[in-house]
Structure 1
Amino acid sequence: MIRRRFGAGLLAALLLSVGLGAGAPARAADVPAIAAAADLNFALTELAAQFTKDTGKTVKLTFGSSGNFTTQIQQGAPFEMFLSADESYVQTLAAAGKTEDGGDLYAIGRLALFAAKGSPVTPDAGFKDLRKALADGRLRALAIANPDHAPYGRAAREALIHEKLWDTAQPRLVLGENASQATQFATTGSAQAGLIPYALALAPAVSSQGAYVLVPAAWHQPLRQRMVLIKGAGETTRAFYAYLKTAKAKATLAKYGFALPIGVK
């Protein structure tokens, strides 16, 4: 199993953790820190900008793996809100008394198979060419997020197991620390293909770099994504939390390929 770091560049900058601000400047102490799963990179950045435009309030977004954020919050990291790609992490924090309540299910994530322009691998919903590429040597590296702490990595592993490709693919895996890093590997050619969040594959900065196909939802456990307020969350964070439950915010999430839960807490 291969582990690599990615280099600099426009896409890398877009996929790294960011602080979001617009409108009137705010002191750093006044801007709450929000921890968010890496698959939300483009969608939540857009939502935070909309929130600032509509309310004048600013939040700072940090993207990464849900498992790592859970550990950090347990250890006292100063996040006021957590948007996880797997609701079990929110449930873990709630059980530990770190959150205000059990939070809200805000989306159902999907997985995509992506290959950059010039890749010898052609994405298809049945993994037919992926299977052939593993057998004939065209696929030397397949990017996924680390399944040990990244929900999309676990979903990728489950999809490969479902198609009986895990044992063959495992020696060729390039593990990203989170889904954004796995996407970077796949878009830059560090890997000939990648199993990445559909929400990232849909973003113009990624989709313009190659081709992708949606992985059948039945091939992995549902990616039930839950958000929650951390105890002590301030007024701005509460306003942002409420904003993400509005019809306008839900429309943005849907634009990025997230399925929207209906009538589920």
Structure 2
Amino acid sequence: MKPLFFLRRAWLLAALLFSAATQAQPVATVAAASDLKFAIEEVATQFEKDTGHKLRFVFGSSGNFYTQILQGAPFHLYMSADENFVFKLADAGKTRDRGQLYAYGRIGLMVPKGSPLQADGELKDLALALKDGRLKKFAIANPEHAPYGMRAREALQHAGLWQAIEPKLVLGENISQAAHFATSGSTQGGIIAQSLALAPSVGRLGQFVLIPEAWHVRLAQRMVLTRDAPPAALAFYDYLSTPAAQAVMVRYGFEMPKR
């Protein structure tokens, strides 16, 4: 009986050690630009089913994440809406390399139901609304740190509207918050990410039309692993280049970079 007793104890000890080792593995934390919220959560759900890895997402402004990572924030994968933030982190020695492009994004005009504005991608009605008083408030992401806000400002400057519309702007901390302002009735509309407008929960709230891409710097979105990234982060980084992941991204309006 004693050998069997000790064998069972050995099995139990091995199981406990395996469980402890598994639990000790760090959870991969992804700092993701908020335009990715719907698309990347869908991709991550399938990734976790396929691999068994678990991920933790924090969504926000790419510029804010850049500052936080520079100051030592414990993120493992950074998915920026502007590749320049990635390059600056790489130059500062905070990342494994200079990362890779994972998508190109687009901006457009979102007009909520009941708004006096017309859904016009060339912003001609927006210009008229500024003159005739129909426009009271207009939402964009904060261009000081949010790439989609930067591109919105460039588009408005291209249309010759920036100076007139600036006093009427309601600034979202990130593009997700700007989309909320643009669809909630607190503004007459706004410039938001196509990837958010294509989500049913957002798209049903109004009309969305693309703004010409030539009106602003292209939204080249780049991701990079930080130096202490665990295996789960590396696995997800690679998974984002698979046909299954890219099919989801395309469905949300992203253009895939050519490899």
TM value normalised by structure 1 = 0.88
Unaligned runs of 5+ in 2: 1-21
Query: Is the 8 Å Cα contact of residues 26 and 230 (structure 2) preserved in structure 1?
Result: no
CA distance in 1, matches of 2:167, 2:24: 44
* 1:6-25, Cα deviation, whole Å (9 max, x unpaired): xxxxxxxxxxxxxxxxxxxx
Q: Where do 1:171-250 residues align within 5 Å?
A: 171-250=167-246
The DSSP-based 3-state class of the residue aligned with 1:114 is: strand
Unaligned runs of 5+ in 1: 1-25
Quote how far apart the aligned CAs of 1:130 are.
1.0
Give 2:59's aligned residue: 63
Aligned CA distance change for structure 1 residues 135 and 29 (closer, same or farther; 3 Å): farther
Instruction: Decide which of 28, 34, 37 is 2:33's aligned counterpart.
Output: 37
The DSSP-based 3-state class of the residue aligned with 1:119 is: coil
Instruction: Decide which of 104, 108, 112 is 2:108's aligned counterpart.
Output: 112
* 1:182-225, Cα deviation, whole Å (9 max, x unpaired): 00101101111110011101110100111010110000000000
Share of identical aligned residues, percent? 56
CA distance in 2, matches of 1:146, 1:76: 23
Say whether 1:157 aligns with 2:153. Answer: yes
CA distance in 2, matches of 1:227, 1:134: 38
* 1:129-171, Cα deviation, whole Å (9 max, x unpaired): 1111111111111100000000000000000000000011000
Say what the alpha-carbon RMSD is for the aligned residues: 1.2
The DSSP-based 3-state class of the residue aligned with 2:76 is: strand
- Number of positions where the alignment pairs a residue of Structure 1 with one of Structure 2: 238
Runs of 4+ in 1 over 6 A off after TM superposition: none
Quote how far apart the aligned CAs of 1:28 are.
9.3
Q: Where do 1:89-168 residues align within 5 Å?
A: 89-168=85-164
Quote how far apart the aligned CAs of 1:181 are.
0.5
Query: Is the 8 Å Cα contact of residues 110 and 206 (structure 2) preserved in structure 1?
Result: yes
| 1:150 partner letter | A
CA distance in 1, matches of 2:205, 2:24: 35
Which has a greater percent of helix? 2
Quote how far apart the aligned CAs of 1:30 are.
3.6
